Amino acid sequence: MRRKRVMVLYGGKADEHSISCISAAGVLSAIDTGRFEPVPIGITKDGQWVVGGPDPREFDVSDGSMPVVRDVVDRPAPASDQGSVVSRSASTIGVTAPSPVVLDVSLGNNGFFARQPDGSLVSLGFIDAVFPVLHGPYGEDGTVQGLLEMMGVPYVGCGVFASAACMDKAFTKALLRAAGIPVAPDVVVDTRGFDAADGFTAGAKQVMSRINDAKLKYPLFVKPSRAGSSFGVTKLENPRDEAELAAALLEASRHDWKVLVEQGIEGREIECAILAPVATEEPQAAWPGEIVLDRREDGGDQFYDFDSKYTDSRASHVEVPARLPAEVLERVRRIAVQAFKAVDGAGLSRVDTFVTPDGTVMVNEINTMPGFTPISMYPKAWQATGVEYGELISRLIDGVSR
């Protein structure tokens, strides 16, 4: 029986580039090669699609260094007038840039072609499905999904709308509120008119007024609306400290001009993995899990930031199922499925919630392509629910490539 050929996309232009590389390494190591033929394609930080680059499974992160996709060919920087070129013919639209290692794509026949240094094209063969293991903007936000939709290529994960809506935390919360799902109070800030020269001091004064009008309670979290992996997130614990607020707004704005100032919720952060590989079937929820910060009491990480997620293995551990009463766990599962449906989710997502002391479940955010390493919450949650890592990958691919 012919193996299905699965293009695994990783890297990308977002801040989460290196996290994507680590996730892809996990997928490529666990994919059932008896049934699937993986075709790894790395995307550099400047958007080049690289064929035949280093195998992600060989990335070494043991020393704390983060992997990066690079061009496989050294070349001089292109002149300023050498932008991307779109070549068209009766049957294809080829998107090429001044590089010998980008891809051309053919609409309607699952065609991908590698451009060689002499300008010739070599077909990568028929692709049955794409697994876009991409996190953040230009990968998890509907852009790649739209490209694949135009090509008519099946792909794993949420569609254009859900990907775009869930990439923007402010829009996610608007959709959830409309569906009657509780979310944390917040104010949305447009920092494009703020002056970096004064360190956002004047802008922070305006935002502080809005915080007071909205009666937000401290602590507050200031975060980019369209970023992931805790990039640019600051916790504020000092009411009326405009200088601290200004610094937090400035830091978040480095990742996105739209910034969310959100009321901290007194409760536990519980994450629920959703699986819906076949669009016509009911989404399923795994046992909810919890990230436990092991050094919080010793003055270490006070919230689940980038370091505690990815670079300090001793900072936290995963507990699945979370240590909560069974009825609360079931409530989290039910609300997570409701949230997934509210944003028109497909394939997979991780729904992050808060569970307050009185048992109220509030949705924090929805990650449409969550971290996918073997030790990430999403695979760990499904493993605890009876679905092993490799089987999880197979189900996702089978769901879109029948």
229 labeled binding residue: yes
27 labeled binding residue: no
Whether 18 contacts 66, CB under 8 Å = yes
112 labeled binding residue: no
Whether 204 contacts 245, CB under 8 Å = yes
351 labeled binding residue: no
The alpha-helical segments, DSSP class H, found in 214-273 are 242-253
Whether 315 contacts 295, CB under 8 Å = yes
Whether 9 contacts 130, CB under 8 Å = yes
H or E element that contains 289 = strand 289-293
352 labeled binding residue: yes
Residue 229 annotated to the active site: yes
169 labeled binding residue: yes
Residue 376 annotated to the active site: yes
262 labeled binding residue: yes
Residue 80 annotated to the active site: no
Catalytic residue among 20, 23, 225, 229, which? 229
The DSSP code for 155 is B
Catalytic residue among 23, 376, 394, 401, which? 376
231 labeled binding residue: no
- Residue reference for tokens 């505690």: 308
364 labeled binding residue: yes
CA separation for the pair 289, 273 (Å, rounded):
9
The DSSP code for 79 is P
Distances (CA, A) of 246 to 154, 239, 240, 241, 273: 44, 13, 11, 9, 35
What single-letter amino acid sits at 276?
A
What is the rounded radius of gyration, in angstroms, for the C-alpha atoms of the chain? 22
94 labeled binding residue: no
| Cα separation of the two ends of the chain | 14
Q: Which residues of 285-322 are buried (b: 16+ CB within 10 A; e: fewer)?
A: bbbbbbbbbeeeeeeebebbbbebbbebeebbebebbb
Among 134, 186, 188, which Cα is nearest to 163's?
Answer: 134
Catalytic residue among 16, 251, 271, 290, which? 16
210 labeled binding residue: no
212 labeled binding residue: no
269 labeled binding residue: yes
- Residue reference for tokens 């980008």: 102
268 labeled binding residue: yes
128 labeled binding residue: no
Catalytic residue list: 16, 229, 376
Q: Binding site for ATP: what residues are annotated?
A: 169, 221-223, 229-230, 262-269, 364-365
Q: Binding site for Mg(2+): what residues are annotated?
A: 352, 365, 367
